[in-house]
Amino acid sequence: MRVQDICQHDVITIGPQEGVGRAAELMRQHHVGNVIVVGHGTGRPVPLGILTDRDLVVGVLAREVPNPLSLKVEDVLGRSLYTVQGAATLEEARVVMLSHGVRRLPVVDAEGFLIGILSFDDLIHQLSSELHDLSRLFVLGRRRETGRRPA
């Protein structure tokens, strides 16, 4: 299975020059814990970073930054961004997440344009579905065996 098959394609984005208050509003409005920060060099979004609710709480509010609503998204954005191509396998995405200790990966196409986001939750959901399907083999195998065996 490919990343593009299970990632979320409806991604909430924000520009680096927008205020952190706007980012918080978008998270609240869309019931998400992050926004993807994008640039639009060619009209299509290119991921520049991920801003999370945790970034806002730990990086701004807990540090008691004076006048936090005057900050721009780029002022609190982390410098490292890891992405995964939509054509990558789930195993490849898992390796990227584990090796960099991240729970979310922007998903990009072959040209590097944003097409979605893959989260740890997406991987867990997919894995649990696969495990559920595998567990059904026990039941189906038992039924098949008991149906063939004389009483």
- The CATH number assigned to the domain holding 69 equals 3.10.580.10
Q: What is the pLDDT of residue 124?
A: 93
- What are 2-61's pLDDT values in tens digits? 999 999 999 999 999 999 999 999 999 999 999 999 998 778 999 999 999 999 998 888
Sign of the alpha-carbon dihedral angle for 120, 124, 126, 130: positive
Q: How far apart are CA 138 and CA 142, in angstroms?
A: 6
Cα 108 to its chain centre, rounded Å, is 12
Amino acid at residue number 29: Q
In this prediction, residue 149 has a pLDDT band, given cuts at 50, 70 and 90, of low
Which stretch of DSSP H or E encloses residue 10? none
**pTM of the predicted protein model:** 0.84
Look at the chain and report how many structural domains it folds into: 1
Q: Give me the domain span that covers residue 69.
A: 3-148
Pairing status of strand 13-14 against strand 34-39: parallel
User: Tell me, what amino acid is at 95?
Assistant: V
Residue 18 is predicted with a pLDDT of: 97
